[in-house]
Structure 1
Amino acid sequence: MKKPTTTAAAIALLVGSAMLTSVRAEDVQPVRIGVLTDMSGMYRDIMGPGSVLAARMAVEDFGGKVLDRPIEVISGDHQAKADVGAAIARNWFDNGGADVVVDVAQSAVALAVQELARTRNKIVIHGVTGSPAITQQACAATAFSWSLNAYAISAPLPKPLIERGLDSFFFLSADYSFGKAMEDAAAGAIKAAGGKVLGSVRFPQNNPDFSSFLLQAVASKAKVIWLISAAEDTTNALKQAKEFGIAEGGQHIVVPLTYITNVHALGIANVQGLTFATPFYWDRTDKTRAWSERFFGQHHAMPTMDQAAVYSGTLHYLQAVAAARTLDGPKVAGEIRKLPVNDMYVENGSVRADGWLMHPFYMASIKAPGEVRKPWDYYTIEKVIPASEAAQPLSESQCPLVAQSQ
């Protein structure tokens, strides 16, 4: 047999070395967590850079590595546009940019990304997402809802209000799917509890002038004005409600989707007494305080419920990856459902077949200025809403996964 020449042997050695280097490089490719969020638009303060920070804090608390690989957090700005968000997620999923997508939040973007996750067996963990379809008609085996939806923050609120004599309602609703879903959920709960809806009006997203809408609400003489909005729309509407003296006139304002950043921007003197439901408040327990103060030290604002959910969802995903010993989407999804959720966000939480994280909500109101003891001390927790009441019953589910699990 002819021996290889020195040159041929050298080439073979180089090729073998390159292949070995390639294998080793592949072995240490980072596990990437893609935070798909609104970095520049109207939702920036309630998610955005704060959500990216929350994900990084989860990675830090987990230890920085999983499956003997480093963990990297990347981010993308969906601009609250479904096509933009879908394009980013598609690129991440198809080109190895991210192994999981977290946050997302805005309903149209969330539904588009969830469909991509379904077709590619990839994991997506939503933060605040208005549309119940995420865990209903559009549910996916690898998709999860970690914070709230329209049902969870709408359906539990009317009954305690009606029990206090606040039994007539007027809706000011954002004119998109999130607004309709929340109005439908609240209207059904109002009727069931013996209350009345005296009227409703819809306004466009990112609306600067609420004058005509507020005047219709005042003219209805409803005891409760139910404002369904988010981010800057909430801030604008509440500022103008204050200017009209609506609360002073005796009408009670409910904003189911209330963010602590909105309250801080407005000042509690302008929103005291406001009622809402929330899955998270930074000052509720020793654990939430300790985590939130760490967050504040880097972000200079207390965390919103969305940002807290991103932390919890990211941490639980990494625990599931470790348990599954793989990044395979369906296998990781199985562990996400199997493992209990225990962190500062929720204790002994569990994930249902439809992807909904079972956790309590809290009926809260804004303190009077004289009750504030320290910065960002804005909420009074009035009632714990058990997870079983906050979640839409599985008996009403339209998610195909529920029937398959029974």
Structure 2
Amino acid sequence: MKAIRTALFACLSITAISAAQAQSQPPLKLGAILDMSGLYADITGPGSEAAAKMAVEDFGGTVLGRKIEIVVADHLNKADLSANIARDMLDNQGVEAIIDVAASATALAAAEIAKARGKIIMFSGPGSIRLSNEACGPYTVHYVFDTFAQANTTGLAAVKQGLDSWFFLSADYAFGQDLERDTSNVIKASGGKVLGNVKHPINTSDFSSFLLQAQSSKAKVVGLANAGGDTINAIKQAAEFGIAKGGQKLSPLLAFISDIDSVGLDTAQGLILAEAFYWDLNDDTRAFSKRFMERTKRVPTSVQAGLYSETMHYLQAVKAAGTTDAAAVMKKMKETPINDFFAKNGRIREDGRMVHDMYLFEIKKPSESKGRWDNYKLLATVPGDQAFQPLSESRCPLVKK
């Protein structure tokens, strides 16, 4: 009997020691660098924070005996601030990996910091294709969309419909420049023409002079190579200028469900756009979006849905690898297909591009909508290997040719 009591005491002691050791381990921190208050706040912002925390909760809250924490910072759309935040997170706050980094210039700045420290950084908010080309790294993942996929999905479809002359209104920073260039390349390769362009500062409130130039070009399509508040303002003011009534089509080359909600279907109806995700696409997207809406009172954007997916994929890789070592975790991430509500048979290539299907949508007429957020009609599903830049054209030095 004494031997049994001794054995039981020993087992209880081991359990207690193990629990104490688990509690004493530092948390696994993921750093989300977001636009919490600026023109991209509806696309990323508090919704992205909510999505990341949902992923942590659904995963179970711990991994390898460590509590998982999401650390959030607002980069205020300043590249130097984004770099400083990334540096502080990785050097001082014990962050193991960085997620989202909304906007391209801020993402490129944070990418350099993570690359220099050999840390994983995953992008759902930025679109610049440079992130998987010249700025690629061994631990960099570009998850949701990029300028090539947006251009390829939207521009090619438009030219096929006879909309073969374009004028661009582009945001004057990395993302806008890349989106205009990539769309121009698609248009020209498809037999179309680019009649001109004009660049505007980020966070522009008055588009009148730019829209006048677009009207005078007589281009069939006015392409908006911008995002967030800039896209919303440009669409609203284009309606006031009678762009559509004058026979020109307006094509937002990057727009989100939050943008269309802000603009309203009366103004946005008939627009054609590319997206990586839509909340009402199928049963899986609806199930996730219902839970997301219970928290945020809004449906998720593709960026927010992608952030959940990339966070979950990272945590599953950490568990499978049995370590947070960047090389071991990235190996697991790249060799494991992504199958969830966001992507089916998604995969991360050697250039860091996560390849998945893209979708072409048309904005519904008010009479076709059943209520708020019921905004999109699916026109086409574009397979990932057709939507994204082929590896044969990659400028990433990690790609073997």
* TM over 0.5, shorter chain: yes
| CA-CA distance at 1:27 after TM superposition | 4.7
RMSD after superposition: 1.7
Identify the residue that residue 184 of structure 1 maps to in structure 2: 181
CA distance in 1, matches of 2:205, 2:156: 32
- For 2:22 and 2:162, the matched residues in 1 are separated by 66
The alpha-carbon deviation at position 128 of structure 1 amounts to 2.5
Counterpart of 1:95? Answer: 92
Aligned to 2:334: 337
State whether residues 124 and 143 of structure 2, in contact with CA within 8 Å, keep that contact through their aligned partners in structure 1. yes
1:318 to 312, 315, 323: 315
Q: What is the CA–CA distance in structure 1 between the aligned matches of 2:225 and 2:28, rounded to whole Å?
A: 38
* C-alpha distance in structure 2 between counterparts of 1:137 and 1:382, whole Å: 33
Partner Cα distance (2:144, 2:90) in 1: 23
The code of the aligned residue for 2:158 comes to: L
Aligned match of 1:255:
252
**Quick one: distance in 1 between partners of 2:160 and 2:395?**
31
Tell me whether 1:28 sits opposite 2:25 in the alignment. Answer: yes
Gaps of 5+ in 1: 1-19
Query: Given the alignment, which residue of 212, 228, 231 partners 1:234?
Result: 231
Letter in 2 for 1:292: S
Percent identity of the aligned residues? 47
Q: Deviations over 1:111-163 (max 9, x none)?
A: 12111111111111101222211110111111100111111101232222122
Q: Does 1:269 align with 2:266?
A: yes
Task: Report if the CA contact (8 A) 2:261-2:372 is conserved.
Answer: no
Q: Counterparts of 1:213-228 in structure 2 under 5 Å?
A: 213-228=210-225
- 2:11 is matched with which residue? none
Alignment of 1:4-403 (within 5 A): 24=21, 27-403=24-400
TM-score for the superposition, normalised by structure 1: 0.92
Distance 1:42 1:162 in 2: 30
Q: C-alpha displacement at 1:40, in angstroms?
A: 1.6
CA displacement at 1:174 relative to structure 2:
0.9
2:224 maps to amino acid: L
* CA deviation string 1:80-133 (max 9, x = no partner): 111211111111111243211101021121112111111111111101222211
Q: 2:33·2:82 contact (CA, 8 Å) conserved in 1? A: yes
Give the residue type in structure 1 aligned to 2:105.
A
Which digits, 9 at most, give the CA deviation of each residue in 1:223-244, with x for residues without a partner? Answer: 1111111111111111111111
TM-score (norm 2): 0.93
Specify the alignment match of 2:12 in structure 1: none
Q: How many pairs are equivalent?
A: 385
Deviations 1:179-227 (A, max 9, x none): 1111111111111111111111111111111111111111111111111
One-letter amino acid of the structure 2 residue matched with residue 51 of structure 1: S
Q: Could you tell me which amino acid in structure 2 is paired with residue 350 of structure 1? A: R
Structure 2: distance between partners of 1:384 and 1:212: 36
- Contact 1:324-1:332 within 8 A present in 2 as well: yes
Please, which runs of 5 or more residues in structure 2 have no aligned partner? 1-16
Distance 1:327 1:26, change over 3 A: farther
Does the 8 A contact of 2:23 with 2:66 survive in 1?
no
AA of the residue aligned to 1:365:
E
* Aligned partner of residue 227 in structure 1, secondary structure: strand
CA contact (8 A) 1:361 1:384 kept: yes
Question: What is the CA–CA distance in structure 1 between the aligned matches of 2:56 and 2:196, rounded to whole Å?
Answer: 47
SS at match of 2:153: coil
